[in-house]
Structure 1
Amino acid sequence: MQRKLTRPFAHLACAAALAAMCTTTWAQDKVTFLTSWYAQAEHGGFYQALAGGIYKKHGLDVTIKMGGPQVNGMQLLTAGQADFIMGYDLQVLKSLEQGLPVTTVATSFQKDLQGMMTHENVSGLADLKTKTILVSTSGRPTWWPWLKAKYGYTEAQARPYTFNLQPFFADTNLVQQAYPSSEPFQANKAGVKTKFFLFADEGYPPYGTTIVATTKLVAEKPDVVQRFVRASIEGWKAYLANPAAGNVLIKQDNPKMDDEQITFAIQRMKELKVFDGGDAAKLGAGVMTDARWKQTYDFMVGAGLLKAETDWKKAYTTQFVKDLKVMP
């Protein structure tokens, strides 16, 4: 026969139950984020959010997976192998044209990081009509049509870029595509003086290092999307203020990334104001606008890169960034 608890013991049992409830750690939402390349400073905000407990603070258990040359992020996203990927506006618009259910929910940078590295005898992008321009395969359907339309470059000027800087070092009439923290860093290490021109500062419209999700996730778990966006943007603000924690994880994932290059990259991102420039300065980090997306759509259609009937407004949503107000 079961004995009834006397009043004192009943009180103790209730107290113990309440204590157990108070100390319970509620399960966090598991999220997988896939980057676009090997870990580097340009991914630092996400690593900082993980290392600094920012994701955890927002109820998220985040796993960051590195991308790379053989990784098709969009394919993995739509197959359910990642919840979010690091994306690119042109890629998302083209995916929509092909019927893929994806959308951009925030941007890390107000500016795309693609640019041109030249020798010191160049004063601007308008001066390149007599230069040989090294363009990669991936650059031809993205920024190269924009440059040709804006500055009147010709196909006769273009040569393949093989990610080897020796031709550039040997010929002062060569200019080449570059990222601010990569090729200029290598040139600097080799003692070659260069200039760098960011396409975004000349009007190239896409955002940089965006966060892309499936429309299914946005519709079914908007709270998870909102928390991931906020935590990631807070991570970027923290990383640019003090990157130490994020850098530890970056170097764990990519041991080839050393402190010198990371420091150089962070300095360049700050100088170019990719995180806190443009609309972010007034509206807050992570923000996107209809006007900017329309510019990207117009450029792609005008360059023959996108069908005009593509519903460009499905390529993004501002619902997760319009009220963030994470001021840089």
Structure 2
Amino acid sequence: MALDKVKFGTNWLAEAEHGGYYQAVADGTYEKYGLDVEIVQGGPQAANSALLIAGKIDFYMGSPQGSINAIIQQIPIMDVAAIFQKDPQILMAHPDQGIETFADLAKLPTILMGKDGFLSYFEWMKANFTGFSDSQYKPYTFNPAPFIADPKSAQQGYLTSEPFAVEQQAGWTPKVFLLADQGYSPYSETITVQKKLVEENPDLVQRFVDATIIGWYNYLYHDNSAANALIKKDNPDMTDEQLAYSIAKMKEYGLVESGDADDGGIGCMTDAHYKKFYDEMAAVGLFETGVAFDKAYTTDFVCKNVGADLKP
């Protein structure tokens, strides 16, 4: 039987956060589901979201924010699965500055953030916690040195990445606060497709989603050495230590398995969760009110506990 050739674009350079996809390539799961999957790496200069819109790739590692914005701009894409139940976004602080709770971060004069974070989750922070102000914002240049040098600063990051870099470079462990555990509610690492594919070839979408979910169970709980070898082949800067750290943090904080995934399995999305995120972001002005946000996703392909028997 001929395999269906599809391209899947990630949102960054190959890393453990993409492990389930690499696992499904490495162990033949995609092939078993009739798919020949090419993973197209993201990165600083990549434009994989644009490639999805142009029809140059079939699946993309997106986000609810991206898909809702696409609806506003009348771009017909939609999320069909949510691999991360929690967004990995964190803020971190020095361990010796009396910063014990998330709210304590408001005491610091400096928070190093990217522009996207300043315009999105920082708006949510200001609306839901006392004391955060625009005067704290300083641009984050994806270099932890300014944070390490300034004990009165906090810095954005990904749970699975930046704290490890600080530990390696500074020799101490930062205080880490996962925004999702403070109430920030978006799904992350969604599987995003053109609406046309859902309408014209739902079987292909279902096979990709199912095989990916199985890939994730196997990556997290079984032999992932072949997947990690593929990750390091695509991203030669990746180390075994970073991969191990990232996998441990994904499990410890329930990035992949928590919330809706507890009942429906990896990838599960619900109307209630998606609506909660939209309502919260509309309340702080990130989205207009009255947007048909339910056109940004479909739950038809998930919450079926596919592959859940693979979890020990």
| TM bracket (short chain) | over 0.9
Following superposition, the deviation at residue 296 of structure 1 comes to 1.2
Following superposition, the deviation at residue 72 of structure 1 comes to 2.4
Give the secondary structure class of the aligned counterpart of 2:236: coil
Residue number among 142, 159, 167 corresponding to 1:188 in the alignment: 167
Which residue in the other structure is 2:111 paired with?
Answer: 133
The reply to whether residue 199 of structure 1 matches residue 210 of structure 2 is no
Deviations 1:11-40 (A, max 9, x none): xxxxxxxxxxxxxxx101111000000000
Alignment of 1:20-169 (within 5 A): 26-120=1-95, 121-131=98-108, 132-152=110-130, 153-169=132-148
Residue number among 229, 238, 246 corresponding to 1:248 in the alignment: 229
Give the secondary structure class of the aligned counterpart of 2:106: coil
Which residue in the other structure is 1:269 paired with?
Answer: 250
For the Cα contact (< 8 Å) 2:59–2:193, is it kept in 1?
yes
What is the identity, as a one-letter code, of the residue corresponding to 2:203? D
Give the secondary structure class of the aligned counterpart of 1:175: strand
For the Cα contact (< 8 Å) 1:46–1:236, is it kept in 2?
yes
For the Cα contact (< 8 Å) 2:88–2:160, is it kept in 1?
no
Query: Greater shift after overlay, 220-229 or 70-79?
Result: 70-79
> What is the alpha-carbon distance in structure 2 between the residues aligned to residue 35 and residue 124 of structure 1?
33
Following superposition, the deviation at residue 148 of structure 1 comes to 1.4
Segments of structure 2 that go 5 or more residues without pairing to the other structure are: none
Following superposition, the deviation at residue 324 of structure 1 comes to 4.1
> What is the alpha-carbon distance in structure 2 between the residues aligned to residue 50 and residue 325 of structure 1?
18
The reply to whether residue 176 of structure 1 matches residue 155 of structure 2 is yes
How many corresponding residue pairs?
A: 303
Following superposition, the deviation at residue 154 of structure 1 comes to 0.6
The reply to whether residue 321 of structure 1 matches residue 302 of structure 2 is yes
> What is the alpha-carbon distance in structure 2 between the residues aligned to residue 142 and residue 45 of structure 1?
28
Alignment of 1:216-255 (within 5 A): 216-241=196-221, 242-255=223-236
> What is the alpha-carbon distance in structure 2 between the residues aligned to residue 299 and residue 96 of structure 1?
17
The reply to whether residue 210 of structure 1 matches residue 190 of structure 2 is yes
Following superposition, the deviation at residue 193 of structure 1 comes to 2.5
Give the secondary structure class of the aligned counterpart of 2:83: strand
User: Once the two structures are aligned, what percentage of the paired residues are identical?
Assistant: 47
For the Cα contact (< 8 Å) 1:169–1:192, is it kept in 2?
no
Deviations 1:39-71 (A, max 9, x none): 000000000000010000000010000011222
Alignment of 1:11-26 (within 5 A): 26=1
What is the identity, as a one-letter code, of the residue corresponding to 1:267? A
**RMSD over aligned Cα atoms:** 1.2
TM-score by length of 2: 0.94
TM-score by length of 1: 0.90
Give the secondary structure class of the aligned counterpart of 2:118: coil
Which residue in the other structure is 2:270 paired with?
Answer: 289
Deviations 1:140-163 (A, max 9, x none): 222111111111311011111111
For the Cα contact (< 8 Å) 1:28–1:61, is it kept in 2?
yes
Which residue in the other structure is 2:290 paired with?
Answer: 309
Give the secondary structure class of the aligned counterpart of 1:134: strand
